[in-house]
Amino acid sequence: MSVSRKTGKIYYTDDELKAALDNNNALNYAVSRGYNLIRIGNEYHLKEHDSMVFKQDGSWFWNSKGLHGRAIDFIQNYEDKTYPEAICILADTIDRPAPVGPVHTVNVSAEEKPEFILPERAENYRNMFAYLIKERCIGHELVKGLAENHKIYQGITYNKLKIIGYDKGGNAMYSVKERFHDDLKDIPTVRSDINTGETGAPFRNAECIAPAAINELLGSGQIRAFQNLVMVGYDDKGTPRYASMRSMNSTGKAVKVDVTGSNKSFPFVIKGKDGFNTVCVFESPIEAMSYNSLCQITDSKRIDCPMISLGGAAATQALDRYLKWHPEIHNIVVGLNNDSKKFGHEINAGLNGTEKIKNEYGHDYSITIHKPYLDDWNDVLKNYRRNIEGKILGQKHSKYKQTEKTDISI
């Protein structure tokens, strides 16, 4: 840690930044600091704030406040430290020792690692199309194309049930989540051969909730069904490996989570023209869709670029994998969010993620920063459409102030 003689502020060196990024695992950090964690399935919840969840991939999210990230973001947002302080804490150059990687890792055996099973598909996607096109202002043709290519779909989940596979008829099969076993006793079950739903995946015999029992639970109000937007990332063989899921409610707090068992190193991708040498990078699939729609509206040449999302500002492993898949890429456009002050904290995830990409890839790639002038690219898209159409798209958007700025310079 170094301190400026002029300002007295902490600053960090390149070596400290590298050490911090190598040590940027939120679960390891929380364990090393003695936080009270309660294991629920394959996640760890903070005892004092059970909506704060730590995942085994090193990420965390705080559902009640809409915060997420990795260790650096946790230290800033929960411990109220500055970005330089967070770097120095993880680099072991400040007054507290840093966690030392494997020593503090929560070990998970192969049997405990969760399967990746995509949520059940709805019979139709009407809610999803309405949400993305009317609420989010994303272009119809883009939504249609992503749905046809199985990049997005409308999924079904139940609040007290977890999907455990699909039977040979393609029907989704469920069990009760561990923490609700006492609430849902004596539920009728059946034995069924199930797999993850992927073609060629092996079947196993498992005890599942009988479909008729699920209908009875819904009818009695003991469980609720939710319609969600599911956005999928694939490997190079076309097999789903990652999915983020978010609620589509227009009021109340949005729920945004990764599907259990997701591998963040497989990005959500909007395909560009073959051989294009520039990739545009965003925090979430919604932001990638929004930027693509803005390119279409403004006739930007970047419409030809592939666009990927990282699944969070700090999750650069998706970019790393994409660049390995595509050696023709020489330029990276970084369009992470323009964070603002929320919940009494300065949210620096977009800035931190941008700096991380510059440090990790700047020596080998040409980096261009394109920060949205509002909080994120979807806010820019909604504002742009309202301005060029000369009207507000419904009272539900009234919290976004209309601005005369429409030059997004893509």
What tens-digit pLDDT sequence spans the chain (410 residues)?
A: 454 434 456 767 777 888 888 889 999 888 888 888 888 777 888 877 777 899 988 999 887 677 888 999 998 888 888 888 888 888 777 755 444 443 334 443 334 457 899 999 999 999 999 999 999 999 999 999 999 999 999 999 999 999 999 999 999 999 998 888 888 988 999 999 999 999 889 999 999 999 999 999 999 999 999 999 999 999 999 999 999 999 998 666 677 888 988 888 999 999 999 989 999 999 999 999 999 999 999 999 999 999 999 987 767 889 999 999 999 999 999 999 987 544 444 457 788 889 889 988 999 999 999 999 999 999 999 999 888 765 544 444 444 444 444 445 66
Are 161 and 291 part of one and the same domain?
no
* C-beta separation of 72 from 20 below 8 A: yes
Q: Phi, psi (5° rounding) for residue 386? A: -65, -40
pLDDT at 130: 96
CA angle (331 as vertex; 330, 333 as ends), nearest 5: 160
Domain contains 408: no
CA dihedral 120, 124, 128, 131 (to 10 degrees): -140
Are 124 and 247 part of one and the same domain?
yes
Are 207 and 247 part of one and the same domain?
yes
Are 229 and 178 part of one and the same domain?
yes
Are 215 and 296 part of one and the same domain?
no
Domain boundary among 199, 231, 258: 258
With H, G, I as helix, E, B as strand and everything else as coil, classify residue 407.
coil
Domain contains 263: no
Domain contains 185: yes
The number of folded domains in the chain is 3
Domain contains 334: yes
Are 144 and 94 part of one and the same domain?
no
Domain contains 361: yes
Are 78 and 124 part of one and the same domain?
no
Q: What does the block give as tokens for 132?
A: 């993305």
Rounded CA separation 157/36 (Å): 29
CATH number assigned to the domain comprising residue 18 = 3.90.580.10
Rounded CA separation 305/297 (Å): 15
CATH number assigned to the domain comprising residue 342 = 3.40.1360.10
- How many DSSP H helices and E strands does the chain contain? 11, 23
Are 18 and 98 part of one and the same domain?
yes
Domain contains 134: no
pLDDT at 101: 41
Domain contains 405: no
DSSP string, 122-184: PS--HHHHHIIIIIS---HHHHHHHHHTTSEEEEEEETTEEEEEEETTS-EEEEE-GGGTTTS
- Sequence-separated (6 or more) residues with CB below 8 Å from residue 255: 63, 228, 246, 247
Distance of CA 298 to the CA centre of its chain: 27
Are 181 and 278 part of one and the same domain?
no
Are 181 and 72 part of one and the same domain?
no
User: Domain containing 157: what range?
Assistant: 120-128+139-258
Domain contains 410: no
Are 149 and 81 part of one and the same domain?
no
The pTM assigned to this predicted structure is 0.71
Collect contacts of 111-114 with beta carbons under 8 A, ≥24 apart.
112/42, 113/42, 113/56, 113/261, 114/41, 114/42, 114/260, 114/261
Are 348 and 386 part of one and the same domain?
yes
Q: What is the DSSP secondary structure assignment for residue 240, as one 8-state letter?
A: E
Q: In what order do the strands lie in the sheet with 256-258?
A: 120-121, 152-158, 225-234, 240-247, 256-258
Q: What does the block give as tokens for 63?
A: 């559902």
